[in-house]
Amino acid sequence: MTLKVGDKAPDFHVDDQDGKPVKLSDLRGKKLVLYFYPKDMTPGCTAEACNLRDNYNSMLKKGFEVLGVSTDTEKSHKKFIDKEKLPFRLLADTDRTLHSAYGTWVEKSMYGRKYMGTARVTFIIDEKGVIEDIIEKVDTKNHTSQILKEKIDNTTKVVVKKVPIKKSATKKVTASKTAKASSKPAKKAAKKKK
Task: With beta carbons less than 8 A apart as the criterion, state whether 46 and 12 touch.
Answer: no
Query: How confident is the model over 31-89, as pLDDT tens digits?
Result: 999 999 999 999 999 999 999 999 999 999 999 999 999 999 999 999 999 999 999 99
DSSP string, 138-185: --GGGHHHHHTT----HHHHHHHHHHHHHHHHHHHHHHHHHHHHHHHH
Query: How confident is the model over 147-182, as pLDDT tens digits?
Result: 988 644 433 232 333 334 444 444 444 444 444 444
Q: Which member of 24, 33, 45, 91 is catalytic? A: 45
CATH code 3.40.30.10 for 13-147: yes
Q: Residue 1: exposed, middle, or buried by beta-carbon count in 10 A (0-12, 13-18, 19+)?
A: exposed
Q: Tell me, yes or no, if 50 is annotated catalytic.
A: no
pTM for this prediction? 0.75
H helical segments located in the chain: 43-54, 56-61, 74-84, 97-102, 143-147, 154-193
Radius of gyration of the chain (CA): 28
